[in-house]
């Protein structure tokens, strides 16, 4: 496999050994397309660890064993977070970097080579903890001026690319056309192996990885700097639909409160102000669905009163995790 020195842009760069981690469930075709894009990389990984749940994908994996060094684990437990934790145990100790990828993306052929070129250049003056990849084309929806104005008022502005503000809101970095330092990275990113192995996200009981990338990456700022590489590109096999989901909004709100409470540099009151704006937006979205789902109209007010009670009674992060996040929410 191509894990030796490579010549990139006429400069000799020592490309380090790296691994890829993917969690997947019931999506054999998606993982097949993803692995095809990995095989086309100009710099192949030393190891690919796939943790699957649901449908067996042994036959799909077998088609790539000649080109890639794949370690496949089928788990009875499902959920991106718990599957990641399982997969991290299977990487060799000699890896320097571990990339986290979703199973429904396609990497551009020079994605990995480009990100290591950027890491090599930046490492001269920086202690790099992780670096994010760029979605091409950017799937961030175009917002109306009124929406942007309201986000700014309620501490949810995307103006400062890649920053996490006092409310815990994480601004997207995808609009940057140059390498920038960030305060968080999403789930399509690469990490120093020693930090990837410390993947301590406490949301094992959540089937979907809501805010896990924010929680993990922001906590790693204490170990090094984070950057975004616009030249290291991927695309989605099918772009996720951008629409309001009430259940996701409820769970996301509790996780953001937990996130703010676990980081003393953030502000619970800034979070609460942002939550007021989010509640207004959620209520409007819910009212638009009133004739189809009339019971949903009660969810936002109930959530509002619950969050207000949690904030004003100064409940601790451990209480939020135990009594809200890790339980089936009866909002």
Q: What digits encode the pLDDT tens for the residues 83-134? A: 999 999 999 999 999 999 999 999 999 999 999 999 999 999 899 999 999 9
Does residue 113 sit in helix, strand or coil?
A: helix
**Calpha distance 31→36 (Å, rounded):** 9
Close Cβ partners of 133 (under 8 Å, ≥ 6 residues apart): 107, 111, 115, 188, 189, 190, 229, 232, 233, 234
Looking at residue 15, its pLDDT comes to 80
Q: Which residues partner with 13 through β-bridges? A: 6
**Calpha distance 200→82 (Å, rounded):** 10
> What token pair was written down for 6?
């490579």
Of 136, 135, 153, 155, whose CA–CA distance to 145 is shortest?
153
> What token pair was written down for 194?
């020693």
Span 259-316, pLDDT tens digits? 999 999 999 999 999 999 888 877 776 666 655 566 677 888 899 999 999 999 999 9
**Phi, psi (deg, nearest 5) at residue 130:** -165, 165
Neighbours of 309 (CB within 10 A): 10
Give yes or no for a cis peptide into 248 (omega within 30° of 0).
Answer: no
| Exposed e or buried b per residue across 136-174, where buried means at least 16 C-beta atoms within 10 angstroms of its C-beta | beeeeeeeeeeeeebbeebbbbbeeebbbbbbbbbbbbb
Instruction: Assess whether pLDDT exceeds 90 at residue 30.
Output: yes
The CA R_g of the chain, rounded to the nearest whole Å, is 21
Looking at residue 148, its pLDDT comes to 58
| Structural domains of the chain, with CATH | 6-139+174-236 (3.90.550.10), 143-170+243-331 (no CATH)
Share of the chain above pLDDT 90, in %: 71
**Calpha distance 146→87 (Å, rounded):** 44
Instruction: Assess whether pLDDT exceeds 60 at residue 79.
Output: yes
Instruction: Assess whether pLDDT exceeds 50 at residue 6.
Output: no
CA 102 to chain centroid, in Å, comes to 9
Higher pLDDT, 68 or 139: 68
Of 132, 128, 133, whose CA–CA distance to 221 is shortest?
128
Close Cβ partners of 183 (under 8 Å, ≥ 6 residues apart): 162, 163, 164, 170, 217, 218, 221, 226
Span 167-216, pLDDT tens digits? 999 999 999 999 999 999 999 999 999 999 999 999 988 877 789 999 99
């Amino acid at each position: 496999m191509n894990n030796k020195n490579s010549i990139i842009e006429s400069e000799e760069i020592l490309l380090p050994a790296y691994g890829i981690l993917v969690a997947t469930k019931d999506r054999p075709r998606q993982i097949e397309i993803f692995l095809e894009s990995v095989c086309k990389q100009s710099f192949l990984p030393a190891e690919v660890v796939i943790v699957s749940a649901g449908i067996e994908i042994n036959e799909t994996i077998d088609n790539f064993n000649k080109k890639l060094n794949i370690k496949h684990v089928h788990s009875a437990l499902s959920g991106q977070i718990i599957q990641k934790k399982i997969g991290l145990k299977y990487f060799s100790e000699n890896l320097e970097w571990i990339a986290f990828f979703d199973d429904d993306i396609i990497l551009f052929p020079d994605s990995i080579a480009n990100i290591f070129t950027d890491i090599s250049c930046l490492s001269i003056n920086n202690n790099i903890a992780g670096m994010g990849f760029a979605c091409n084309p950017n799937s961030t929806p175009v917002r109306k001026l009124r929406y942007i104005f309201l986000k700014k008022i309620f501490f949810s502005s995307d103006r400062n690319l890649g920053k996490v503000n006092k409310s815990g809101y994480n601004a997207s970095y995808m609009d940057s056309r140059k390498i920038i330092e960030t305060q968080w990275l999403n789930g399509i990113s690469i990490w120093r192996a020693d930090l990837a192995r410390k993947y301590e996200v406490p949301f094992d009981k959540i089937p979907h990885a809501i805010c896990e990338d924010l929680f993990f990456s922001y906590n790693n700022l204490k170990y090094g700097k984070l950057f975004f590489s616009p030249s290291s590109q991927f695309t989605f096999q099918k772009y996720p639909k951008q629409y309001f989901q009430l259940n996701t909004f409820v769970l996301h709100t509790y996780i953001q409160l937990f996130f703010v409470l676990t980081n003393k540099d953030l502000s619970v009151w800034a979070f609460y102000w942002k939550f007021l704006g989010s509640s207004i937006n959620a209520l409007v979205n819910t009212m638009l669905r009133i004739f189809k789902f009339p019971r949903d109209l009660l969810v936002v007010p109930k959530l509002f009163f619950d969050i207000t009670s949690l904030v004003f009674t100064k409940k601790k992060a451990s209480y939020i995790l135990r009594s809200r996040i890790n339980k089936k929410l009866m909002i």
